[in-house]
Copies of this chain bind each other. A is one copy, B any other.
Amino acid sequence: MTTVRTSAPAGTGRGRRSGRSAGDDRESAILATAERLLGQRAFSEISIDDLARGAGISRPTFYFYFPSKDAVLLTLLDRVTEEADRAAADVLVHLADDPRARWRELISRFHATFGAHRSVVLACAEVRGTNAEVRRLWATVLERWVQAVEAAIEAERRRGAAPAGLPARDLAIALNSMNERVWYATFAGDGPAVAERDVVDVLLDVWLTAVYRTTSPA
């Protein structure tokens, strides 16, 4: 769990007495409203007032719970990336038996997780350009995945399943970047995109050829 908020108020660290309290409900209500509204329109089209009204509070009260609109999105993003991390954990450790199936599983799980929260992911892509915090959080998450893939590629090379080639880190960056961009295009539906039901197979194919120089590794 990455630290999300710059200033103090909202969240678990505020110093609430103990369990449930009215404030927690409000906070969840804001989050829920945000996710609901994101399914309807773009993040930039949603004002803090919309979020507040949706949660049944006034705009100044919103600021008691979150320092800004972006902080809400950051919290949402945090959840999604945690889920993605959980989904991807352990997939690459037993790569040696049936590598093709493992790699496919990895890509497929990311696809499923992002697809399930596409409005949040799309919103993050929308503000990544303007919000340094979203950019940083996304960068650290991506870095984790890159390192996992890098390690897996090196392991495959050590056991002789994959030939030497590009530095494993550069390859891992390139492949993860490809996935990210292709998913974005697929989910956003703008511009040239791979059909959603084919996207896992297309990405997998490029991954396998890049790592093994063949699509059916040992």
Within 8 A of B (CB), among A23-77: 42-44
- Tally chain A residues at the interface, Cβ within 8 Å: 45
Which of A178, A193, A194 has the largest number of chain B CB atoms within 10 A? A178
Q: Which of A2-10, A11-19, A93-101, A137-145 contacts B (4 or more CB under 8 A)?
A: A137-145
Complex interface: chain B residues within 8 A of A138 (CB): 191
**Closest B residue, CB atoms, query A202:** B170
- The CA of A126 and the CA of B128, in the complex, are separated in Å by 7
Closest Cβ of chain B to A91, distance in Å, is 19
Known: A130-B44, A130-B126. A142 touches B191 (CB 8 A): yes
Q: Which of B125, B180, B214 contacts A213 (CB 8 A)?
A: B214
User: CA–CA, A109 to B174, complex, Å?
Assistant: 19
Chain B residues with CB under 8 A of A180: 181
Main secondary structure of the interface of A (DSSP, over half): helix
Q: Are B178 and A174 in contact (CB under 8 A)?
A: yes
Residues in A lying within 8 Å of B, measured CB to CB: 42-44, 125-130, 135-136, 138-139, 142-143, 146, 165-166, 170-171, 173-178, 180-182, 185, 190-194, 198, 202-203, 205-206, 209-210, 213-215
Sample of 15 further A-B pairs with CB below 8 A, known A129-B129, A210-B210, A213-B213: A44-B129, A125-B129, A126-B130, A135-B191, A138-B191, A139-B191, A166-B205, A170-B202, A171-B202, A174-B194, A175-B178, A177-B182, A178-B181, A209-B209, A209-B213
Going nearest first, the 9 A-B pairs with the smallest beta carbon separation are A126-B129, A139-B191, A178-B178, A181-B181, A177-B181, A170-B202, A44-B130, A146-B192, A177-B182
